[in-house]
Amino acid sequence: MARIIGGLTTSHVPSIGAAIARGEQQTPYWKPFFDAFIPVHAWLEKEKPDLAIVIYNDHGLNFFLDRMPTFAVGAAARYDNADEGWGIPVLPSFEGDTELSWHMINGLVHDEFGITMCQEFLVDHAFTLPLKLMYPNAGARWPIKAIPVTINSVQHPLPSAARCWKLGQAIGRAVESFPKDMKVVVLGTGGLSHQLDGTRAGFINKPFDLMCMDKILNDPVALTRFSNREIIEQAGSQGVELMTWIAMRGALSGRVDTVTSMYHAPISNTGGAVMLLSNEPAPARLAAE
Ligand code: DHB
Ligand code: FE
């Protein structure tokens, strides 16, 4: 059976791509952020996951305002990156897994989620940069397969935190009922607090971010009680990317522990955070197997 062995959350700002391209990882500005991935690399080396489900928000590369799915799931054999205009290198294509994609799509629709299933899917910085941070030495071929899942965080009305949590739970159920042996890691990318426009541009709320990091581990359901308006007030208008974290955590149904956790602000305009959580099968579930 497929197993979800962990969850990773990270900021996804495009300037990470520029810092990598310029070799700035060890400059004082970037060092705390890139160093947060040292324990992530050790964990990946040990655990060797086969596939990443990347829960993120598309920023206009694949979906624009004229057609905006609340939730979309990739069902392609291959996912290409493309130039978004940030001036960062386009990264090599990612291999998908259509069997698992369709299994997830069937599971999500069965669980009453209205999703858009995509047999073509361009993946943006919020998908590619976290994988590049995980595998900085990957050349033309990535050492992991990947499936994109997007949550609309651009065009109102946005899905609620509670709904994103349930989406994550449904993804978790689907993956863990997939009959092939494989190790899956679930990513939630974006956040934490940031606002890129309007009079509050540059807004970062460190106490709120730290509270989210604590709750994501210890009491994720508490985060599902925030309304979207409250999240935007507390975390900024782009801080709703927190939804991807909540969905990631919903997919982890076992005994969850921190492998590593780091907060550093600002990373570009965001409260920059990286968390890697391990997910051990819960004792009750082990007993039932
Ligand atoms: C920035 C943050 C984002 O989440 C994003 O998608 C683009 C830019 C930033 O802070 O620069
Ligand atoms: Fe973003």
How many Å lie between the centroid of ligand 1 and the Cα of residue 268? 7
How many Å lie between the centroid of ligand 1 and the Cα of residue 134? 19
> Which ligand gives the minimal distance to the CA of 268?
1
Does ligand 1 have an atom closer than 6 angstroms to the CB of 10? no
- Tell me whether residue 41 is one of the annotated catalytic residues: no
Distance, in Å, from the CA atom of 268 to the CA atom of 126, rounded to the nearest integer, reads 14
User: Tens digit of pLDDT for each residue in 57-71?
Assistant: 999 999 999 999 999
Q: Which two tokens mark 127?
A: 């998908």
Residue of 85, 87, 81, 171 lying closest to 129 (CA atoms): 81
Does ligand 1 have an atom closer than 6 angstroms to the CB of 57? no
pLDDT at 145: 98
Note down pLDDT in tens along the chain; length 289 residues.
Answer: 999 999 999 999 999 999 999 999 999 999 999 999 999 999 999 999 999 999 999 999 999 999 999 999 999 999 999 999 999 999 999 999 999 999 999 999 999 999 999 999 999 999 999 999 999 999 899 999 999 999 999 999 999 999 999 999 999 999 999 999 999 999 999 999 999 999 999 999 999 999 999 999 999 999 999 999 999 999 999 999 999 999 999 999 999 999 999 999 999 999 999 999 999 987 655 554 4
User: Tens digit of pLDDT for each residue in 109-130?
Assistant: 999 999 999 999 999 999 999 9
Q: Please give the backbone phi and psi of residue 34, each rounded to the nearest 5 degrees, phi first.
A: -65, -35
